[in-house]
Structure 1
C-alpha cells in the first residue's frame, strides 16, 4: 500500500485500485478483500474515485456499443429463425398436399380439358 500511495509501484501501473493493491502485496484479490483492517485503511487514504483515462472511457463506450449491437443482432437472428421455422412448416404441408394430389390424379388418370377460347 505504501508503494502505491507514494507513487513507486513495483508490480503494477500505479493506479490506486484494490486490484493493484493485491498485486503489489503479492496476494490474491480475495485475500485483500478478507483483510478488513487493510481495506479500511485503504479507503481512508484513497478517498477519491478512480478516474479513467480518455482512452479507457472511449474503450468502455465502444464495448457498451458493441454489446448493444450484439444483443440486437441476436434478437434479429432469433426472429429470422422463427420465420424460417414457419416457412419450413408451410413448405412441408404444401409438399404433402402436392403428393396427395399427384396420387389422386394418378389413380383417376382423367384430365379435364380447358375450354378453348374462340376468337370472334
Structure 2
C-alpha cells in the first residue's frame, strides 16, 4: 500500500483522480460519458465517492477548472438557448391558440350563414310561380 497524503488519501488514489480529471477535461474519458460532473470524476478514477470526497486538494482543483472550463461555458450557452427556445415555444403555443380561437369563431359564423342561406333558399322555393301577363304583341292585334 502507498503512503497516505496530508488528507489521508493514498498517493495512488490522488494520482488516479488527477489523471481522471485530465481525461475528462481533455475530452478523452475511458469509463464515463465525459460530462464534467463529480460523479464522473470518481467513476473515471475508479475510486469510491468517499475517497474522492477526502481528496480536498483535488476537489479544489476540480472546482477551479470546472468554473473556467469552456465545456461548462458551452453548457451555460446551451442552457440559455434552451431557455430562449422554451420562451419561444410558449409564445408560439399562445399564438396557435389565438389563431385556433379565430378559426373556431369563423366556423361558427359560417355555420350560421349556411343555415340562414338554406332557410332563404327554402322560402324562395316555396313561392308559387307568379305569371305576369305580357301585353299583346302587335302581330296578334292585327
Same fold (TM over 0.5): yes
Offset of residue 58 of structure 1: 3.5
Does 2:24 match 1:3? no
Provide the residue aligned with 1:21 in structure 2.
Answer: 42
Structure 2 counterpart of 1:41, from 44, 50, 54: 54
Whose Rg is larger?
2
Across the two proteins, how many residue pairs are aligned to each other?
99
Contact 1:4 1:14 in 2 (8 A): no
Provide the residue aligned with 1:51 in structure 2.
Answer: 65
Gapped regions of structure 1 (runs ≥ 5): 111-120
User: Greater relative contact order: 1 or 2 (C-alpha under 8 angstroms, separation 6 or more)?
Assistant: 2
Offset of residue 10 of structure 1: 6.9
Does 2:110 match 1:95? yes
Offset of residue 65 of structure 1: 2.2
The normalised TM-score by structure 1 is 0.62
Contact 2:14 2:58 in 1 (8 A): no
Q: Distance in 2 between matches of 1:81 and 1:14?
A: 44
Provide the residue aligned with 2:7 in structure 1.
Answer: none
Offset of residue 46 of structure 1: 2.8
The normalised TM-score by structure 2 is 0.54
Offset of residue 41 of structure 1: 1.8
Gapped regions of structure 2 (runs ≥ 5): 1-12, 26-35, 126-142
